[in-house]
């Protein structure tokens, strides 16, 4: 009788522990989904649309560097589209000139990472 009580108590404790962990995992999935969900952009009036192209030095990989910079730029208010080409070491950003400017785009790129790795040059807008 004593052994069966211990087994039942251990089974209930195990179920509670596993059940709580699954709930925690679900909440983490929701948080991660919110972080990775693309930001919805407001429509930009055609007369406010501006494009900037520039070179980014210091990138060492397409996934860690170029993709991260592209996401940082894309998530800025007033940015319609940003593409970073690792092979050519260039970025092209389409943005609302009433909200963003080339200087701010440069600042965001250079502050990505440790703030010293990426250098912007040849800004054309």
Domain with residue 89: its CATH number is 3.30.70.100
Q: How far apart are CA 63 and CA 69, in angstroms?
A: 10
Nearest to 5 by CA among 47, 13, 118: 13
Residues 50 and 106 in one domain: yes
pLDDT over 50 (residue 44): yes
Q: What residue numbers bound the domain in which 54 lies?
A: 46-124
pLDDT single digits (tens) 78-103: 999 999 999 999 999 999 999 999 99
pLDDT over 90 (residue 77): yes
Domain count, the chain: 2
């Amino acid at each position: 009788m004593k052994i069966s009580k211990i087994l039942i108590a251990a089974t209930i404790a195990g179920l509670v522990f596993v059940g709580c962990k699954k709930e925690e995992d679900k909440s983490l999935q929701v948080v991660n989904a919110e972080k990775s969900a693309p930001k919805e952009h407001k429509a930009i009036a055609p007369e406010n649309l501006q494009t900037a192209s520039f070179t980014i030095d210091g990138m060492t990989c397409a996934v860690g560097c170029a993709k991260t910079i592209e996401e940082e730029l894309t998530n800025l208010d007033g940015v319609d589209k940003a593409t970073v080409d690792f092979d050519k070491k260039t970025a092209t950003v389409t943005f609302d000139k009433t909200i963003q400017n080339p200087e701010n785009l440069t600042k965001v790129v250079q502050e990505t990472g440790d703030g010293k790795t990426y250098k912007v040059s040849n800004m054309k807008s």
